[in-house]
Structure 1
Amino acid sequence: MVLVATIVGAGIAARGVLASPAPAETLRPLVREALPDVPGYGLTAAEVSFPPGAKAVPHRHGKAFLFVYVLAGSVHSQIEGEPVRTFRTGESWTEKPGDHHVLTENASARDVAKLLVVFIAPKGDALKVDDSPSEP
């Protein structure tokens, strides 16, 4: 939970009010297939849905190569060392193995954002590894 230190409204201050955590993304696998010409690797396609205001924890995708296509809405995205970019419906990007994804969030407070994410990854590897709380 997030601790809100001070809320000020109508001239009255309240301390120690707990707020609910921000919404998170959900991943729904669509396809999982071995790559016959690339031993040890597989393809996974998934729909990732971001409710209004949702933000992913900074993360990496290990040795996976990703292709990401925006199915609906828009998202802000940033790979470490690169500028923040906004991707809208019909736009796409790629991520290389080892990239540190420091920002992924729904750009809208009202509309759902949906992504098609295609992972090419070593079989058995985790598709997403969130940063630990102590990592930057």
Structure 2
Amino acid sequence: MASTSPTETVKPLLQQALPNVKGKTFTSVIVDFPPNARAMPHRHGQAFVYAYVLEGTVRSQLAGKPVRTYHQGDNWVEPPGAHHLLTENTSPTKQARLLVVFVSNTGEELKVDDPAS
């Protein structure tokens, strides 16, 4: 039986339409990665994404970009339409946590996993 890595869990914090930008919504979430957790490759539609590492260390890669490692206190942005190939907790023993903020088209799904191959 093949073993699979644990995956992330998402806890919504705030979702609100932007009153001064018609058709756009601000959403913030906490993403928890248990030890050795890895997210499926995914996209965030046309959302602009900001991520801040609250705890632990996360390795991340967008299509066409090098793999980067982010530690507690680091942050990054993802442009609309980016393909997120890799997001993983680098630790086998400690959790990692991110604050993630999306500015998206109202009603758009915030995370769409790639189809299983």
TM-score, normalised to structure 2, is 0.97
Q: State the superposition RMSD in angstroms.
A: 0.8
Higher gyration radius (CA): 1
In structure 1, stretches of 5+ residues that fail to align are 1-17
Q: Residue 10 of structure 1 corresponds to which residue in structure 2?
A: none
Q: 1:19 offset after TM fit, Å?
A: 3.8
Q: Residue 76 of structure 2 corresponds to which residue in structure 1?
A: 93
Q: 1:21 offset after TM fit, Å?
A: 2.6
Residue 44 (structure 1) aligned with residue 44 (structure 2): no
- Supply the distance in 1 between the matched residues of 2:28 and 2:65 (Cα, whole angstroms): 25
| Higher RCO, Cα 8 Å, sep 6+ | 2
- Per-residue CA deviation, residues 9-34 of structure 1 (Å, 9 max, x unaligned), is xxxxxxxxx14431100000001111
Decide which structure has greater strand share: 1
Structure 2 residue matching 1:93: 3-state secondary structure: strand
Structure 2 residue matching 1:81: 3-state secondary structure: coil
- Supply the distance in 1 between the matched residues of 2:104 and 2:67 (Cα, whole angstroms): 25
Q: Residue 123 of structure 1 corresponds to which residue in structure 2?
A: 106
Count residues with an aligned counterpart: 117
- Supply the distance in 2 between the matched residues of 1:127 and 1:120 (Cα, whole angstroms): 9
